[in-house]
Each structure stands twice: as C-alpha cells, then as structure tokens.
C-alpha cells in the first residue's frame, strides 16, 4: 500500500514557474514507477510525465516537453514536477500516481493516486 500526497500547486501568471511535490508513504517507494497526470475541467485525465524507479529515465507529453521536468528523491520518498514557462492551458488539477509498469501513460496502469493539487495559470 502506498499513500501519495501532492503539494505545491497554486495560482501563477503565464510564464511563471511552480514546483509540485508528491510525498509517498511506506518503504517501497523506490520500487514504483512514478507518474504525473492532470485533469482540466470537463476533460479527461491526461498523462504529463513519468520517471522510472531509479530516476534515470523519463518521458513527457509533447505539450509539456522542454518546460516540465520530473525527478525523484528515493531517500525522501518524493517525486517532483518542476514546471516553467507555464501557460493558461496548463491549468488543471495535477495528480501523482504509482505504477509497477515502466513507461505507462494510461491511468489504468497506475495503482495508487494522490488527491491532486490545483494549478491555475492566469493570462
């Protein structure tokens, strides 16, 4: 069982930056692939980024590539999402999730989810 708690969301102007954090409970954090997803009002939850167990491999959605960076600290049981050059279309609730499957971009392949943190980007 893994419990995930996101933090770091907020209101920011376009062009600004935020860093999201996701703290995991338990001693098995390093055995999970960690992903970030987001869900805007009226839209389906979409993949943002994923990082492998060691932190050595990452993937990004095309919409955030070059602007967002995912990284993890296994000693602190935490995964981060650094977001720069934010756009109004990045506005959404951001969720972190844990999976046993590397590279998955499907919500159905993630076993544990956080409660989400709101990111709002004003124009």
Q: Looking at residue 1, what is its pLDDT?
A: 84
CA dist., res. 98 & res. 112, Å (int): 5
From first to last of its 123 residues, the chain has per-residue pLDDT tens of: 899 999 999 999 999 999 999 999 977 999 999 999 999 999 999 999 999 999 999 999 999 999 999 999 999 999 999 999 999 999 999 999 999 999 889 999 999 999 999 999 999
Q: Looking at residue 104, what is its pLDDT?
A: 86
SS (H, E, C) 53-98: CCCCCEEECCCCCCCEEEEEECCCCEEEEEECCCCHHHCEEEEEEE
Q: Looking at residue 47, what is its pLDDT?
A: 98
CA dist., res. 76 & res. 54, Å (int): 13
């Amino acid at each position: 069982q893994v419990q995930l708690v996101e933090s770091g969301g907020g209101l920011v102007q376009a062009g600004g930056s935020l860093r999201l954090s996701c703290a995991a409970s338990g001693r098995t954090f390093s055995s999970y692939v960690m992903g970030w997803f987001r869900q805007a009002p009226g839209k389906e939850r979409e993949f943002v980024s994923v990082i492998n167990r060691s932190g050595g491999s990452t993937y990004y959605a095309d919409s955030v590539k070059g602007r967002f960076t995912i990284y993890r600290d296994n000693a602190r049981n935490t995964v981060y999402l650094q977001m720069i050059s934010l756009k109004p279309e990045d506005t959404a609730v951001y969720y972190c999730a844990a999976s046993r499957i590397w590279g998955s971009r499907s919500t159905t392949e993630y076993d544990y989810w956080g409660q989400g943190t709101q990111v709002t980007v004003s124009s």
